[in-house]
Amino acid sequence: MGPWELQLCTYGLALATALLLWAACACGWRRRRRTGEPPLINGWIPFIGKALTFKKDAFNFLIAQQRKFGDVFTVHIAGRYITFIMDPFQYVYVIRNSKQLDFFEFANKMASKSFSYPSLLDFPNLKERIQRNYKYLQGEALGIISDHMMKNLQHIFEWKYSQATDWKTEKMYKFCSFLMFEASFITLYGRDPAADGYNVISEIRDKFTKFDANFPYLVANIPIQLLGATKKVRKELIHHFLPWNMAKWMGGSEVIQDRKDILEKYELLQDSDKAAHHFAFLWASVGNTIPATFWATYYVLRHPEALAAVRDEIDHLLQSTGQKKGSGYNIHLTREQLDNLVYLESALNESLRMCSSSMNIRISQEDYILKLEGNREVSLRKGDWIALYPQILHMDPEVYEDPKEYKFDRFIENGKKKNTFYKGGRKLKYFLMPFGSGISMCPGRFFAMNEIKLFLIVLLAHFDIELVEKKPIGLDNSRFGLGILFPDSDIVFRYKIRSLEE
């Protein structure tokens, strides 16, 4: 047991003892359901409520409550009252009520606390300017930054792996993490030409990994002082993004330059606050993309038919555009060409369906009556959380036949992208939600998808690759609600440069 684990256990025992004493001595107030409110599941432990059961297995807990109470119910979880909307046909009624059911309050508090910068609301128009900044990850700008990402990926592959003429063995998650972090960092922030840039970025990656391991505890409101060296590591990471350090980096992206320009306009922001914003953007850029890249690669390699179909599609595109595969040849693909790789996109979407566990949160800004389909009304209290948990939808056998099985072509129909899915004979508006929904939808989702596609294109075009271990890899549920789940273990694979005669 590590030092932070020991501290956390001590904290947990002290908290449990205090709660039991309080429960024994206090009058035991618990919230009571009012007329018009959903069924209320309080739990018997004061403050904790159903938190322990929920954390242990959120998916099966919610399914069990749905069978017992229906599609809308409220659960007391660690001092919060969260109303879950389980019916995907009702999602739209939550998503479209962004004024009464706000996302920004939750996201702003979580981010400012986790990454150590002041609330965006303390600075006039900062929120709106930051939101407009995401235009550099969409539209025409997306093609530019994706092209830079492709060049950086190929450069790193060539630098690191061009001599792999014989089989080379590595652990897959470590491999994906190294490549995606390096390429993403250089694409977004550039590199210091006067230093050994790869060593600097590797140092940042190692610290990032340590911080990210405890990120779920920060989101769960565990004080950072109880998380061992996490506070120190966070401070060191922020230091890398101080203005005079970032000024050394060359070749960065428009999205980062624009963010620097925006933050410089606010004189009341300390240099450490600006650096913390950049660190938060880094986490948003790679925190979920790295495990998503692992899962996409793992599932393709684990299913030979998927590997064959995706590789054939890539090879056909390269041949049709006069480009050569293999070490020493650079690949260039337009945004349209990427979008037309239907088997690659379907395989990626299928892996996201199976490994994503995001929880879409809204906070009721007032006592409010939420109107649902079929003239149904649900009373909500000010400050209550409203949650959509799309993992339930992703694993619904009515929507996805054999949902626990990976089917690389699940999102293809008649050779084209499949965008129609049904439940109970009715067409669903929302059927795949790894990036959130409505105003909470990840603004970098298009770039994230392109990054993973580009990684797989370079990998499969340049290398023969196969799993060495045949063990199945499971999901680590400790990060449920935060996006892409991590694997519960790493797995060994091997690769070598593809023969040009293929």
For residues 466, 469, 473, 479, the Cα torsion angle rounded to the nearest 10 degrees is -80
CA-to-CA distance for 327 and 165, rounded, in angstroms? 10
Q: Which residues contact 277 (CB under 8 A, 6 or more apart)?
A: 115, 117, 259, 263
Please state, in angstroms and as integers, the Cα–Cα distance from residue 500 to each residue in 27, 318, 456, following that order.
77, 13, 18
If one counts every other C-beta atom within 10 angstroms of the C-beta of residue 9, the result is 11
442 is in an annotated binding site: yes
CA-to-CA distance for 104 and 127, rounded, in angstroms? 9
- Cβ contact 463:473 at 8 Å: no
Q: Which residues contact 459 (CB under 8 A, 6 or more apart)?
A: 157, 297, 465, 495
CA 153 to chain centre: 21
- Cβ contact 189:252 at 8 Å: yes
One DSSP character per residue, 217-243 reads HHHTT--GGGSTTHHHHHHHHHHHTSH
DSSP assignment letter at 338 = H
Q: Which two tokens stand for residue 259?
A: 């963010």
- Cβ contact 130:431 at 8 Å: no
Query: Are β-strands 40-41 and 72-77 bridged in parallel, bridged antiparallel, or unpaired?
Result: parallel
Please state, in angstroms and as integers, the Cα–Cα distance from residue 41 to each residue in 65, 77, 86, 91, following that order.
9, 9, 15, 21
113 is in an annotated binding site: yes
Count of residues in the chain: 502
Amino acid at 149: M
- Cβ contact 155:148 at 8 Å: no
CA-to-CA distance for 186 and 204, rounded, in angstroms? 12
CA 412 to chain centre: 24
Output 20-24 pairs: Cβ under 8 A, ≥24 positions apart. Answer: 22/46
Which residues define the annotated binding site for heme?
Answer: 442
Which residues define the annotated binding site for substrate?
Answer: 113, 288
Which residues define the annotated binding site?
Answer: 113, 288, 442
